Structure 1
């Protein structure tokens, strides 16, 4: 189940929050591979270090996760951590990690979260893919500069938030107030056991006015009706509604995806919002021009029986998207290749910002 390789670090290529990118040469094969290490888990690799690698992602040709992953520096193990956390993530795997949850008893936030039970109407934008995050933020901040935005990452994609250069750059640019990793994901500014306490932590600990929920990079799909990690979008609607928040559904829309099931409105959105979400959300339909816009609007029409379907104009959003501090990319397609995808996410951000008004 794991393709193991022994290797040597040749160079450190670049770094971002929680992550070091390396060039590694395997032994005895002599192959040079791109690799990632998370120093909080394995220590900080340096040129000349021996590293133990997991090369599954490279062997599978994964676009998002096309790296070997450093499992250990066997000749230079890091010191034992010294902190009071006892929340275990990636539980009962050989690399289970212990973190301190915002909601656990030893946390300084435990008293605040122990009785917390409401999001106080906070808008929560829910997206299928991680690539929607910067587009949502761009529109929110264009409409309402200075809005305090938090990101809650579920565990449908990457487990370590450190893998996301997007989240790191948005935080560095001041576009994100902070992040919370929930379920089996980890590496956020705050950790939480469930999506529910993660949302409450975003609101009451980070002080967010608006929160975005999505899985991390590298979602999983199988081409079946139910076998995709994005079903969590519907579950997120239920969680937000249960906590007295305002769920805002961002649609996964594409005019360029070669797969018919994702062209127009993706079946991921139609299934998650149409079948999984039991509570009502504001589903944002971007007011796209021409026959494609009609196709998108027609696809969402059956969801009116459960949700509030709202049309949002997209004028000016393209300029806002071009000002993003990160490269916009979804499934290898940039803003110009799949404009409709990013406009749909941005429209949800514009609508959520309008819900805040002047408060």
Structure 2
């Protein structure tokens, strides 16, 4: 049967802004990524322009100056902040060599960029037996956070309290799918015993099919004392009650509990966000922990008797905390020494474009979650 005119029209359009470009310079890179300058060839009467581009080395190879590249320019067209790169889809004239790798778990499934990874829980994995044989986290503290920007301050709180603690990061797939996208993860890697990428995300030291086996891998394969669970960079939010990727934080609380861990629900608190739904305790935390997390969790709260903050903000936070279910236990946590620990981090702290001095309470609230996890190791 011949395609209809409507089908032919649909096949000629697309939801990706495809462009060719030429690499004019290699800006540098970090683990798994090469950052480029590219001259983008115009289409549809647009002017030629130059942009930053990002190539994931394991997917497309490492482009060189002079290479012609195929680009996905959606992020540039939409003006995205976190992911505002042209993404290299292929280097058509210099394709990377085929590499036979173990593993048959497909991530980014049924997209043109689907990748085959070796997961810790599949038959070919050398870790399969230990993962399958681990039935409990044995009380391991599991810190759950809404945003990727919480990773660094939580880690700071742990190290300020128990510098010898082994910490694994479990990255969930609500944001960036490649772990390689995160510069901060690359710079924090020497402070972690490993990263496990769960679900559809990939590129960690270990891969897992879901957050449950990712937590087991953190404990039994990476040897972690504490796990931090958060999505990669670039969370999704629509401003509606349920329409945000951070609902996975509540689901991670449930997963940690059912596996015999001790979930710690870190609060997303802001004094710098101008949006009413995020000023004070974010509606993301209120929804995720108040309605999604059915298992009890410890909720660390900065000790506001000693931590100075705006009286209006404090009143708002206290009224919100009173609305959280009684199944959770709110734990005041001292903040002494956390300021210094945050400023000593090897990464620039930033959440929604705001740094430590612009949204101090956000980073302190995440750091006390790390501190509480560290104190749990003593008993």
- TM-score range with shorter-chain normalisation? over 0.9
Greater shift after overlay, 32-41 or 304-313? 304-313
CA contact (8 A) 2:160 2:337 kept: no
Q: Give how far 1:304 is off.
A: 4.2
Partner residue, 2:323: 302
Task: Give 2:31's match in structure 1, choosing from 17, 20, 42.
Answer: 17
Alpha-carbon distance between aligned partners in 1 of 2:225 and 2:134, rounded to the nearest angstrom: 16
CA contact (8 A) 1:303 1:309 kept: no
Alpha-carbon distance between aligned partners in 1 of 2:247 and 2:220, rounded to the nearest angstrom: 27
Alpha-carbon distance between aligned partners in 1 of 2:144 and 2:372, rounded to the nearest angstrom: 12
Output the TM-score relative to the length of structure 2: 0.92
Partner residue, 1:84: 102
Alpha-carbon distance between aligned partners in 2 of 1:357 and 1:75, rounded to the nearest angstrom: 57
Structure with the greater alpha carbon radius of gyration: 2
Q: Give how far 1:315 is off.
A: 2.4
Alpha-carbon distance between aligned partners in 2 of 1:151 and 1:270, rounded to the nearest angstrom: 23
Between the two proteins, the alignment pairs up a number of residues equal to 356
Where does structure 1 lack aligned partners over 5 or more consecutive residues? none
Where does structure 2 lack aligned partners over 5 or more consecutive residues? 1-14
CA contact (8 A) 2:290 2:325 kept: no
Alpha-carbon distance between aligned partners in 1 of 2:301 and 2:316, rounded to the nearest angstrom: 11
Task: Give 1:316's match in structure 2, choosing from 308, 322, 337.
Answer: 337
Partner residue, 2:111: 93
SS in structure 2 of the partner of residue 113 of structure 1: helix
- Post-superposition Cα deviations, 1:116-141, rounded to whole Å, max 9, x if no partner, equal 21111000100000001000001100
1:27-46 aligned within 5 A: 27-28=41-42, 29-46=47-64
SS in structure 2 of the partner of residue 222 of structure 1: coil
Q: Give how far 1:240 is off.
A: 0.1
Task: Give 1:105's match in structure 2, choosing from 101, 123, 141.
Answer: 123
- 1:51 lines up with 2:69 in the alignment: yes
Partner residue, 2:16: 2
Partner residue, 2:90: 72
Alpha-carbon distance between aligned partners in 2 of 1:11 and 1:187, rounded to the nearest angstrom: 25
CA contact (8 A) 1:285 1:297 kept: no
Alpha-carbon distance between aligned partners in 1 of 2:338 and 2:57, rounded to the nearest angstrom: 38
Greater shift after overlay, 232-241 or 305-314? 305-314
Partner residue, 2:170: 152
Partner residue, 2:8: none
SS in structure 1 of the partner of residue 233 of structure 2: coil
What's the C-alpha RMSD, in Å, of the aligned pairs?
1.0
Output the TM-score relative to the length of structure 1: 0.97
Greater shift after overlay, 44-53 or 349-358? 349-358
CA contact (8 A) 1:285 1:344 kept: yes
- 1:334 lines up with 2:355 in the alignment: yes
SS in structure 1 of the partner of residue 330 of structure 2: strand
Alpha-carbon distance between aligned partners in 1 of 2:300 and 2:183, rounded to the nearest angstrom: 27
Q: Give how far 1:145 is off.
A: 0.9
Q: Give how far 1:242 is off.
A: 0.5
SS in structure 2 of the partner of residue 303 of structure 1: coil
The runs of at least 4 consecutive aligned structure 1 residues that moved more than 6 Å come to none
Partner residue, 1:277: 293
